[in-house]
Structure 1
Amino acid sequence: MNNYAKLSAKIILSCLSMAIFIGCSTQKDNATNRSLQNLSARYNYIYNSNVLLTTYQDDLSQTYKDNYDDFLAVYIAPVNSDFLNSATSSGNVKSLDEITQKAQTIISEKNFSNYIDEAYILLGKTNFYKGNYFTAVEYFDYTAKTYKSNKNVFLSAMTWKARSLMQLNNYEKAELTLDTVKATLDSVKSEKAEPLATLAQMSIYQQNYKEAIGYLEQAIKETNKIQSRTRWPYILAQLYEYNKEYDASLRNYTKVENSNAPFEMYFNAKLSKIRVNDLLNDQTSNRKQQLLKLLKDDKNFDYTDQIYYEVAEDYFADKDYKKAEEYYKLSAQKSITNQYQKGLSYLKLADLNFKNLGDYVNAKLYYDSAVTTLPKNYPGYEGILKKAENLEYLTQRYQIIANEDTLQLIARLPEQAREKKLSELFEPKKEVTTTKTIDNGKVVKFDDPTKTQSNDKFYFSNNNAISKGFTDFRKRWGNRLLEDNWRQSVKSSAQVNQQNQSAVIDNSTNPTNIQTANADKETRIKEYTALLPLTADQMAKSDQKIIDAYFEIAGFYQQVLEDEEEAVKVYEELLTRYPQNNHLEVVYYSLYLGYSKTDPAKSEMYKNMVLAKYPSSVYAKTILDPNFSAKQNALDLEINKIYNTVFDSYEKKDFPAVIAYVNETNQRFPGNALQAQYDYLKAIAIGRTQNVDSLLLAFNTIISKYPNDKLINPLVLDHIAYINANLSSFKARKIALIDFDPTEPRFISQRENTVVAVNKLEPVIPKSEPAVVKPVTPTVTPAVTPTPYAPVIAKSQEVKNEPIAKPVDNFFSKAESDIYYYVISVNDMSLSVSSSRFGVGQFNRGNYAGSGLKHQLLELDEDQLIFVGNFTTLSEAKTYAESITSQLTKIMKVPLTAYKGFYISKENFDKIKNREILNRYIEFFKNNY
């Protein structure tokens, strides 16, 4: 009987084992298998994954750096590469990978379980936190479509899809997705907190703060997460404060202060409470005292910068700008770890100096620091960068004035006093040695580099360790100069100057360099003496540099910064120092405009001076006829249009028509801006139809009528010289000029313009003159960013300015080339550039004769490029650009807004295939040259 019972038990166990085995097979869809898969998926995978994800999110909240000067993010998401690098480092990225692996296992092996939808949600979230937003959108979209009947899953998928779209800045699609979220909210009874928070974040992005308040209020009621119960009330307090609902704001700040919020949030809530209380009581003096009391608490040491910043804000609100500047400086100085706060302080200092104190030189320094400290996604970042670059224009000219004043001061000294001054100026600095007497009477030189103790245990005394470290460094960073801020390739004016000064100090105090410095002293004195304006001619040139600098500074104040008061001061300073200068008509006219609103009597005085001394100038004509400028612009367009018609006849060899057109135009528009060029075309037409005497008469007439013309005059003089050298050949002809080439008019046996290497390219004419301020609607803008240098006024030496982080386009290269071009790009294919090309040829033949320069045309789909070459060095191309720039308005017969000039290496020029690449290079050119 017992044996029978044992046998029966074995049979039953075997049957159960087989049933379990069959039930556990992933290939069978039955109740047992589904139950076991659900059990395994839920506890082995989903539960563990959610624990890992929660831990990951908690870690993010600990490492995420909130910006309390703006609305906090409702939920934390990766927003930039730096955040991703910190958030996904080491163990964190492993946890995301582990979640991904578990979710994929559910999908592939637990395909009969009820947790496939949650697995896809997990895959979407891991991609979201890794910054793979496009992939995340696809996962959430698939889940929402596949499991639409499950409202909780559908709502979660659509919520996270909207978050991913917002991270991609695709707010239009995100808003459509959130419309579905709003429609679905009422169909679920739980898990509403995240959808409501997402709706609140979208409302903040759209600046619909009242709606955001409503969503956040609901989200707080729905959430069971501790962090959300502190973070969301803080955001609510910010929103209420922005909407001036101070009672509600104060209530929420108090809630955060009394909670277990992180200390930084607690501190900022306390700081904000002081601010809101003062707004409620309409006072600020008590607030300053309360803020400064916070400095006495050691716990607030890390937030000293924010406290000083808030105090500065109060002084600024009271219009006590000097005190505000003092505390903004303290805030910047104390901002050691909070770079965002440091950047805000620099920006406030820059704006304060720019708008309220009128110290534009210091404003430039602070803008420099702000753009290198603030993140590039800071609102208005590009505007800050533009201000910094524009103010460089001012600081350069102030430096010119300071340099020339110093040179003149030394030059005016008696010879013996001058030699003594130069000797003192270039005296090598001696090493300052710090000594200390020890008890035994021995004297130790603490800073003597020769006294370094050798100890192999010390890292920097171990040659093997140093060698290994240097090798590792070079592998990662490449060969770098030993200097401050070595990671940065582009440095600001202040930083470059600071490093140069440091280098001079280091070299001069190094004992091994003192002998070299002494030997070099005489050479440096000789070089500096050569710069001194010791003759009357040299002094006049130095004076002219100062005059031009003052003139350009005043024009910049008046036209770019729109600071009439400061412009008037500089113009008056110019007249005080140089009552007779070459800009008087512009200065008088500008002072007439500058005083028009503040001092009518002075305005009238300068108006009468313009009319009396310069009655035929454009300024006098503008005063008498306010519409003169508009009429002149229309006239210039008409003159260009007619010139193109005349040039068409010239190219078709219809020379009688050319002569007739020019005569008619000169009669209709006497003294027009292109009259010298019209007369040149007429002269060449005469040469193509008459004898050499008529041609020489036409050429000499041009020389006498336009003695100061820098475009046509040099060309005509070259022609006359060649004719006189070959006069007998020309006399033998009935027609002076034969063998016509419409693009390159030549004379008999004229030398060939082959492309040759030019060792030193020097123009015949002088370099471009300073820009002249146009009447009525003047524009004075530097064509190229000025060379960095140290500002004259440096009231804020304690502020260390970092380099301007200019954008870098790695598509183009600054590497040296054997060939460079100067390019004029015309952005309209409908415009004829034939006459403009002819003008470029005129300029080259008149000013670079024998240099071998050629000008050619390259047509893109949307642009026409006139390029001149070949230049063998960058400096040659730059020199050419400087000399032709002042003549472009005469050379180019197209609207001013239709063309741009720049220089470029052949390697970069060959990359330009369309307008997009062309515009990229123009931006690259602006940022790097």
Structure 2
Amino acid sequence: MKNYAIHGLKVILFSLCLSIISSCGAQKDTATGRGMQNLTARYNYIYNSNVILDSHQQELTETYADNYEQVLPVYIGPEVDETFMVKGGSGADKAMDDIIKKAQVIILEKSYSNYLDDAYILLGKAQFFKGNYFNAAEYFDYAAKTYRKNTRSFIEALNWKARSLMQVRRLTEANLVLDTMVYALTDLKKNSAEPLATLAQMCIYQQKMPEAISFLKDAIKASNNSQHKIRWTYILAQLSEQQKNYPEAMLNYRRVQKSSAPFEMYFNANLSRIKLNALLSNKTINKQDELLRLLKDDKNEDYTDQIYYQIAESFLADGAYDEAKKYYLLSVQKSTKNQYQKGISYLKLADLDLKQFRNYLNAKLYYDSAVNTLPKHYPGYDAIVKKNQNLEYLTKRYQIIADEDTLQTIARLPEQQRQAKIQAIFTPVEKSAPATEAAATSGSNPLRLNENTPGRGQSSSTFYFSNAAAISKGFSDFKKKWGNRKLENNWRQSIRSSAQTITQDIANNTSNGAASNAGQPEPAADRTADIKAYTDALPLTPELLGRSNQKIVDAYYDIASFYLQELNDPAEAEAVYQILLSRFPENHHLAAVYYSLFLINKNKDAAKSDDYKNRVLKGFPNSNYAKIIMDPSFSLKQTERETAINKNYNEVFEQYQKKDFAGVIQQVNRTLISAQENYLAPQYAYLQAISIGRTSHVDTLLTAFNSLISVYPDDQLITPLVKDHIAYINAHLTDFQKRKIALLDFDPNEPPFSIYQPPVAANNQLPDDAMPVAPKADPVAAITPPSPTVPKPETGKPVAITPVPVKTEGIFSTAVSAVYYYVVDVADATLTLSSSRFGIGQFNRGKYAGQNLKHQLKEFDNDQLIYVGNFSNFEDAKTYADGITPQLKQIMKVQADLYTSFIISKENFDKLTSKDLLNKYLEFYKNNY
């Protein structure tokens, strides 16, 4: 009986094993097959995959660096860069690939199980954590559409699809997905916390803070995850603070403090609570005492920069700007690890100097530091960059003033003292370099001894110090309880004996002994060339002194105009105008300065305003400023008049191009008789004169030229050119007198003049002047001596000239080139620019005869570029620009607001292939030149 029973049991077990094997080996739509597939899918694949996901999420939480100056993200996900790619994303790839394999097994081999929806959702989550957000969204979309009737899976898929789209900032699409999810959420009886939190994150992105607060409160109630609840409570406090609901914010910060939050979150909650408590209290003094007490707790050593920042914020709120600046500076000094905090402190210092102290030079320096320290995704980063670029304009002009004042001061010294002073400027001051901080920065986490060691791979050993994940978790747990502590003896002790302190100092000094010898002074470089350049730049003659003074005058005028027009700071503008008038009572900007002071004082000091108005009317009665005072609509009328004059000139020039010389002569006579104050009158007269030369003897031409010079002796564009023409004709008068007509079209049978070419008007050829001119030396200095670097106010010591570093932005660079162009950009492709190019040719022949300058045309869809070259260096191009720019109104026969000018290297010019690139270069030029 016993043997029979044993035999029967064996048969039953064998049959059961066969059934199990059969069920596992092949997919069968039977109750047994479905049961076995559900069993293995759930426990062999789904459970293990979720364990991997939980472990990965825990690692992300422990390594993610939260920025407590902004509202924290609701979820801690993969950290992405500006292109939405996971930073260092390969670390999670192996774990996520394991999940993908397990999910694919369920889909391929467990197709009759109840976990296909979970498998597709797992595939989506694995792609999400690998950074393949669009692939993830597709998996979640498929799961949502296929398993629409399964409310849990449907909502989970929609939730993760929205999160995937939010990661790549497809907020509009994500919002549509969440709208669908909200309607289904009412049918979900549990596990609603994460969808509610996602809705809160979307509201934060959309700046709908009240709705975000409501969703977060519901998510906290529905959640069973303690870490999620702590994080969401902190975010709830931040949002309440933003909404100025300070009691609610205080309550939630206290809840975070009482929870098992990580130490950093605990610290920031405490810091925010203290700040709000001071704000709500009625105390008028000692609001900072509680914050200062935090400095005494050595657990807060790594957060002193944030403490000082909050103290500064408190002083700023009270209007104590000097104290606020003091503590912002302390925050910067103590920010050795938290670069984000350092950047914010720099930004606050810049704003203080800009708005409160009106110290624009210091503000520029602090904005520079903020731009270089803050991440590009910081809210308002572009506005900070723009403000920094505007202040660059002021800084350069203040630098010009300082440079020229320094040069003039040295030039006034006796010869012997002058040379000694220059030698002192270029003698480097030897000073020891500060001790290296490498040990401090690299040793901030003493537990990570085996991480990233060259030649040492990742170990999967169970030994604690070979397991990176275990070390990370242990260090995180340590920080929660103790904060950051130095690796030293008796680290638990806050108060130590003198003997302990000395022992520890000796140990530190021994370990850092190598660093103490660092930073030996380098030998002085040969400064002979720099000293010579500096000496050559000294204004030792009245002419050079006049040029130096002119640079200072122009710089002051530009600064005051910038304050008035760009920064909307009339008080500062008036102060600079007054400095200009006190230093240079007579200057060529007087009419503009008086007019600006008239406008500044118009609504605040009637007596002053009238005084400056009278100075304009009496001293400059024919200026445009006087005419605007007398007739406020003069500016509009003037623009209309100039447009009409340009149009008429272009018509006359077209007649000249068609060789209708008689018509040109008659039209110019009518124009000059009927028009008053025609600013193009010398150019009209020039067209008439060369038309006379095309139809009459040389004697008649010389009479016309001499008449032009006598009528327009002060003209800077045409008169110099005509004088050259007369000189050339007189030098070759015998040849000219043999002709019946003075100026002939070019004839190959005639002996040509050495540099003569007839005018042509084809778009890409040079419309030259009809008259030959005698070669002459360039009257404008080709190279401006390099300006010295002047002392900074903080040190009071001059700094030697150093090479300017190459700056690069996108495809453009400030690298030195062998060829530069001066470019006039006309923002209208429909205009005919023959007359404008003719004017540029006139300028070149009058000022740069013999220099072989050429001007050509480059066209875009909506722009035309007239470029003049070739200049061998930037200084030559700048000298040319300084000469031609004041005369562009007479040269360019188009509306003034349609054109702008700049200098560009050939390498950068060749990269200009579209209007968009042109605009980028103009911004680059403004910022760097």
Q: Which residue of 2 aligns with 1:898?
A: 898
Q: 8 Å contact 2:403–2:788 — kept in the other structure?
A: no
Deviation, 1:356, is 0.6
- The counterpart of 1:726, out of the listed 729, 732, 736, is 732
Tell me if structure 1 keeps the 8 A contact 2:234–2:252: yes
Residue 44 and residue 271 in structure 1: after superposition, are their counterparts in 2 closer, same or farther (change >3 A)?
A: same
SS at match of 1:582: coil
Q: Secondary structure at the residue paired with 2:856?
A: strand
**SS of corresponding position for 1:839:** helix
Using structure 1 for the length normalisation, give the TM-score.
Answer: 0.80
Q: 2:645 aligns with which of 639, 645, 651?
A: 639
CA distance in structure 1 between the aligned counterparts of 2:674 and 2:324, rounded to whole angstroms: 63
Q: What does the per-residue CA deviation read over 1:25-68, in whole Å, with 9 as the maximum and x for residues that have no partner?
A: 34544443333333222222221221111222222222222222
Task: List per-residue Cα deviations over 1:725-767 (Å, max 9, x = no partner).
Answer: 33333333333322279xxxx9866446999xxxxx9984548
- Which residue does 2:685 correspond to in 1? 679
Query: Which residue in the other structure is 2:669 paired with?
Result: 663
Matching residue of 1:617:
623
Of residues 127-136 and 250-259 in structure 1, the stretch that sits farther from structure 2 once superposed is 127-136
Q: Is 1:558 paired with 2:531?
A: no
Report the residue type matching 1:646 in the other structure.
Answer: V
Answer yes or no: is the 8 Å Cα contact 1:63–1:87 preserved in 2.
no
Q: Matched residues in 1 for 2:660 and 2:228: separation?
A: 84
Deviation of residue 812 (structure 1)? 5.1
Residue in 1 that maps onto 2:493: none
1:266 is matched with 266
Bigger relative CO (Cα 8 Å, ≥ 6 apart): 1
Deviation track 1:165-219 (CA, whole Å, cap 9, x = no partner) reads 2222222222222111111111211221111111111111221111111111111
Matched, 1:699 2:713: no
Q: Deviations over 1:272-299 (max 9, x none)?
A: 2122223333445343111111111111
Q: CA deviation at 1:425?
A: 4.9
Distance 1:796 1:105 in 2: 74
What whole-Å deviation, never above 9, does each CA across 1:879-917 have from its counterpart, x for those lacking one? 544544343333333333433434445555455443334
Displacement after TM superposition at 1:264 (Å)? 1.5
- Could you tell me how far 1:427 is from its partner in structure 2? 5.5
Q: Is the 1:588–1:609 contact (alpha carbons within 8 Å) kept by the matching residues of 2?
A: yes
Aligned to 2:288, what secondary structure does the other structure show? helix
Q: Deviations over 1:306-338 (max 9, x none)?
A: 111111112112212111111111111111111
User: For residue 240 of structure 1, what is the aligned residue in structure 2?
Assistant: 240
The answer on whether the counterparts of 1:398 and 1:791 sit within 8 Å (CA) in structure 2 is: no
Q: CA deviation at 1:638?
A: 2.4
Match of 2:461 in 1: none
- Aligned counterpart in structure 1 of residue 718 of structure 2, from 712, 719, 737: 712
**CA gap 1:368/1:882 in 2 versus in 1, 3 angstroms:** same
**Matches of 2:724 and 2:159 in 1, distance apart?**
77
Q: Establish whether residue 226 from structure 1 lines up as the match of residue 232 from structure 2.
A: no
Q: Which amino acid aligns with 1:228?
A: H
Amino acid at match of 2:739: R
Change (3 A) 1:117 1:815: farther
* AA matched with 1:680: Y
Cα deviation, residue 75, structure 1: 1.6
Q: Give, as a single letter, the amino acid of the residue that structure 2 aligns with 1:567.
A: A
**1:905/1:3 CA distance change after superposition, 3 Å:** same
Shift of 1:700: 2.8
2:866: which partner in 1?
Answer: 866
Q: 1:224 to 1:740 in 2, by over 3 A?
A: farther
How far 1:822 moved relative to its partner?
A: 4.1
* 1:605 aligns to 2:600 (yes or no): no
CA distance in 1, matches of 2:692, 2:403: 52
Partner SS for 1:857? strand
1:348 corresponds to: 348
> Which residue is equivalent to 2:743?
737
* SS of structure 2 residue aligned to 1:81: coil
Q: Which residue of 2 aligns with 1:443?
A: none
> Structure 1: 5+ residue runs without aligned partners?
435-445, 448-467, 469-505, 756-760, 771-785, 798-802
Q: Which moved more, 1:286-295 or 1:648-657?
A: 648-657
Checking the alignment, whether the CA contact within 8 Å between 1:820 and 1:871 is kept in structure 2 is yes
How many residues align? The count is 826
* CA positional deviation for 1:361: 0.9
Between 618-627 and 895-904, the greater mean CA deviation after superposition: 895-904
CA shift, 1:596, in A, is 2.6
Residue 207 (str. 1) matches residue 213 (str. 2): no
Aligned-pair RMSD on alpha carbons?
A: 3.9
Q: Which residue pairs with 1:309 in the alignment?
A: 309
Which whole-Å CA distance do the structure 2 matches of 1:403 and 1:869 have between them? 30
How far did residue 543 of structure 1 move? 2.7
- Structure 1, 85-94 or 547-556: larger mean CA deviation: 85-94
- C-alpha contact (below 8 Å) 1:862/1:914 kept by paired residues: no
| Cα distance, 1:116–1:679 mapped onto 2, change above 3 Å | farther
Report the alpha carbon displacement of residue 261 of structure 1 after superposing the two structures with TM. 0.9
Quote the Cα distance in structure 2 between the aligned partners of 1:821 and 1:909. Answer: 8
Q: Secondary structure at the match of 1:865?
A: strand
Letter in 2 for 1:183: Y
* Matches of 1:419 and 1:845, distance apart in 2: 41
- Asked if the contact 2:389–2:927 (Cα under 8 Å) also holds between the matched residues in 1, the reply is no
8 Å contact kept, 2:806–2:814: no
| CA distance in 2: counterparts of 1:113 and 1:427, whole angstroms | 84
Distance in 2 between residues matched to 1:237 and 1:371, nearest whole Å: 29
d(CA) in 2 for partners of 1:130, 1:700: 82
* Number of the residue aligned with 1:373: 373
Q: CA deviation at 1:271?
A: 1.6
Letter matched to residue 636 of structure 2: A
- Identical positions, percent: 55
Give the equivalent residue in structure 1 for 2:586.
Answer: 580
Residue pair 1:411, 1:418 contacting (<8 A) in 2 also = yes
Partner in structure 2 of residue 181 of structure 1: 181
**Partner SS, residue 901 of structure 1:** strand
Describe the SS at the equivalent of 1:287.
Answer: coil
In structure 2, the residue corresponding to 1:856 is in which secondary structure?
Answer: strand
CA distance in 1, matches of 2:600, 2:827: 36
Distance in 2 separating the partners of 1:705 and 1:684: 16
In 2, Cα distance between equivalents of 1:82 and 1:169: 11
Give distance in 1, aligned partners of 2:408 and 2:586.
19
Greater mean alpha carbon deviation, residues 202-211 or residues 638-647:
638-647
Shift in Å, 1:589: 2.0
Q: SS where residue 257 of structure 1 aligns?
A: helix
Q: Aligned partners of 1:19 and 1:298: how far apart in 2?
A: 67
Q: Distance in 2 between matches of 1:763 and 1:284?
A: 74
Q: Take 1:571 and 1:827, find their aligned partners in 2: how far apart are those partners?
A: 34
| Partner amino acid, structure 2, of 1:347 | L
State the Cα distance separating 1:616 from its structure 2 match. Answer: 0.9
* Partners of 1:433 and 1:337 in 2: CA distance: 21
Task: Calculate the TM-score normalised by the size of structure 2.
Answer: 0.80
CA distance, structure 2, for counterparts of residue 307 and residue 924 of structure 1:
39
Aligned pair 1:590/2:618, yes or no? Answer: no
Shift of residue 433 of structure 1?
14
C-alpha contact 1:399 1:791 (8 A) present in aligned 2: no
Structure 1 residues 804 and 87, CA gap change in structure 2 (3 angstroms): farther
User: Contact conserved, 1:284 with 1:314, CA < 8 A, in 2?
Assistant: no
Deviations 1:809-860 (A, max 9, x none): 5545666666554443333322222322333333333333334333333333
Q: How does 1:145-164 map to 2 (within 5 A)?
A: 145-164=145-164
Please say which of residues 828-837 and 305-314 is displaced more in the overlay: 828-837
Maintained 8 Å contact 1:133/1:165: yes
**Matched residue, 1:456:** none
Mapped partners of 2:788, 2:94: distance in 1: 47
Q: Which runs of 5+ in 2 are unaligned?
A: 437-454, 456-517, 759-764, 767-774, 798-802
Question: Retained in 1: the 8 A contact 2:712–2:719?
Answer: yes
1:534-590 deviation per Cα after TM superposition (whole angstroms, max 9, x unaligned): 333333333333323322222222222222222222222222222222322222222
Counterpart for residue 464 of structure 1: none
Mean CA deviation greater in 189-198 or 109-118: 109-118
